[in-house]
């Protein structure tokens, strides 16, 4: 499911996400609304109020859907419901806030919570802004805010198997929710569950402090940990879980509502877990419960016969797909996040046959049989589209593997014993394809399950083996086990 639970954002001076945005077209009547305001409002409503993106259609400001979403936002924040981008509305849209949508349309399952009352946390990478001892103290204090109000206990751990991993990172960091530098996204947190569930990331490009200047780490962390525990946003401006960030807070960060909500979600030890629909999480931001309310069992990543259906790299992480399961490995670390694909991408309820990443577009393409999904920036874009979008002949209804070669600007699609070359610049298939794999890739004579381009080599995943192929020298230069890519 996904995508992180909470993203604190400052919508000015630039948007949270890098994906192209449909900007409403100014109506034919004269208007004094600057295009920047229209762009801001559209991105805000798309992200927080489920305004649908239509990439090839320009939408008018006066269109009923746009107006109704403005009204939904005004109702949520308790401001005058006009449906217009008036001063009060734009002021709220410009305020720093959390990235969890404010509408219930995103929610497709009931509440998530940890099925235990003792949770561990660990701090991985630290910020450069504060001494480590200060960060340790502020994180501990943020957890204590919730511990004092509930029956929960938080224990510091020093390994990466903790329930909640706390890290300071920047830009692309392997979870499909890239940070965007100073004054943009501040932080995000995943909901309860296995793998990356509960993990909380802070943008290290921000200025973190323990006081009123910059961004107060205690305040932001306490808010994020609320999401990591399964709480959603509140409409109460006095609540810690209110969407917008405030630099000043009372000594007691939690409102009565916050205390009531955490105790409703986590009954005291000895009572049965309760799942309340009113705490339902967004399907986009609650990735860790799939179908049932209880996590599925982890798969054995070190099995000797382990194979992958698709592999691609995004930022500093590599994604490995097998049937309906996914592993995410940070390239310079040993931790591996894993779980059903729907935990990370709730719209995908199938296996993935092939996947590739086009860095210059910040876009990933995930293929299942004759359809593919597009992940742009940090969002799943629109509905799945037909594979023939790439220019395949009608008889091609699936591919076995795909890989993008940055230097050539080509994406190679492999099917049985043949392959195609797609020109990403012109967005057309190259002339003369398909060709035989064995002729252009000597030494690779079996059906390819997955492919990955890295450090000028193509890695062909064939059953439980991986062939390291020198793309320049046209030769296989090494063979290894597929499970070795997961640290086995």
C-alpha span between 449 and 460 (Å, rounded):
8
* φ, ψ (nearest 5 deg) of residue 65: -60, -45
Decide: helix, strand or coil at residue 123.
Answer: strand
Report the greatest alpha carbon distance in the chain.
71
DSSP single-letter state for residue 472: T
Other residues' Cβ atoms within 10 Å of the Cβ of residue 487: 11
What would the two tokens of residue 25 be? 């077209």
Task: Quickly list DSSP for 223-269.
Answer: HHHHHHTT----S-TTSTTSSB--S---SS---HHHHHHHHHHSPPT
Residue 222: which H helix or E strand, with range?
helix 217-228
For residue 224, indicate whether it is catalytic. Answer: yes
What would the two tokens of residue 425 be? 């610049």
C-alpha span between 459 and 446 (Å, rounded):
14
What would the two tokens of residue 80 be? 């005058």
Decide: helix, strand or coil at residue 321.
Answer: strand
Task: Quickly list DSSP for 53-74.
Answer: P-TT-PPBTT-HHHHHHHHHHH
| HEC profile of 322-370 | ECCEEEEEECCCCCEEEEEHHHHCCCCCCCCCEEEEEHHHCEEEEEECC
What would the two tokens of residue 459 be? 């890695």
- 167, 172, 206, 224: which one is catalytic? 224
Nearest to 115 by CA among 343, 337, 267, 339: 267
What would the two tokens of residue 360 be? 């210059």
Residues forming the active site: 224
């Amino acid at each position: 499911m996904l995508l992180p639970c909470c993203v604190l954002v400052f919508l000015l001076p630039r948007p949270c996400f890098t994906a192209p945005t449909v900007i409403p077209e100014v109506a034919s009547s004269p208007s004094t609304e600057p295009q920047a305001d229209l762009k801001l409002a559209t991105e805000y409503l798309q992200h927080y109020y489920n305004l649908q993106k239509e990439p090839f259609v320009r939408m008018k400001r006066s269109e009923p859907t746009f107006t109704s979403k403005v009204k939904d936002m005004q109702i949520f924040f308790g401001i005058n419901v006009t449906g217009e981008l008036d001063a009060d509305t734009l002021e709220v849209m410009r305020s720093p806030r959390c990235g969890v949508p404010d509408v219930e349309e995103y929610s497709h399952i009931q509440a998530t919570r940890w099925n235990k009352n003792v949770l561990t946390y660990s701090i991985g990478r630290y910020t450069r802004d504060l001494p480590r001892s200060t960060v340790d103290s502020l994180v501990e204090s943020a957890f204590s805010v919730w511990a004092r109000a509930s029956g929960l206990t938080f224990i510091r751990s020093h390994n990466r198997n903790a329930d909640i991993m706390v890290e300071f990172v920047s830009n692309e960091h392997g979870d499909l929710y890239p940070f965007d530098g100073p004054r943009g996204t501040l932080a995000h947190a995943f909901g309860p569950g296995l793998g990356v569930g509960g993990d909380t990331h802070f943008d290290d490009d921000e200025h973190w402090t323990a006081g009123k200047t910059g961004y107060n780490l205690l305040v932001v962390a306490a808010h994020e940990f609320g999401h990591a525990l399964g709480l959603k946003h509140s409409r109460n401006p006095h609540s810690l879980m209110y969407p917008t960030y405030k630099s000043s807070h009372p000594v007691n960060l939690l409102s009565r509502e916050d205390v009531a909500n955490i105790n409703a979600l986590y009954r005291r030890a000895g009572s049965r877990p309760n799942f309340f629909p009113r705490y339902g999480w967004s399907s986009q931001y609650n990735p860790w419960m799939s179908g049932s309310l209880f996590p599925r069992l982890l798969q054995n990543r070190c099995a000797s016969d382990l194979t992958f259906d698709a592999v691609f790299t995004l930022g500093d992480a590599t994604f490995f797909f097998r049937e309906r399961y996914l592993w995410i490995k940070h390239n310079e670390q040993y931790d591996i996040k894993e779980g059903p694909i729907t935990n990370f991408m709730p719209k995908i309820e199938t296996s993935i046959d092939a996947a590739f990443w086009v860095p210059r577009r910040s876009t990933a393409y995930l293929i299942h049989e004759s359809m593919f999904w597009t992940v742009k920036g940090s969002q799943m874009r629109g509905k799945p589209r037909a594979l023939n979008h790439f220019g395949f002949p009608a008889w091609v209804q699936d591919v076995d593997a795909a890989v993008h070669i940055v230097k050539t600007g080509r994406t190679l699609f492999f099917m049985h014993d043949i392959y195609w070359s797609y020109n990403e610049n012109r967005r057309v298939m190259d002339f003369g394809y398909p060709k035989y794999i064995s002729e252009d890739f000597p030494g690779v004579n079996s059906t390819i399950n997955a492919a990955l381009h890295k450090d000028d080599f193509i890695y062909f995943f064939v059953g439980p083996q991986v062939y390291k192929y020198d793309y320049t020298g046209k030769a296989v230069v090494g063979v290894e086990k597929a499970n070795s890519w997961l640290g086995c």
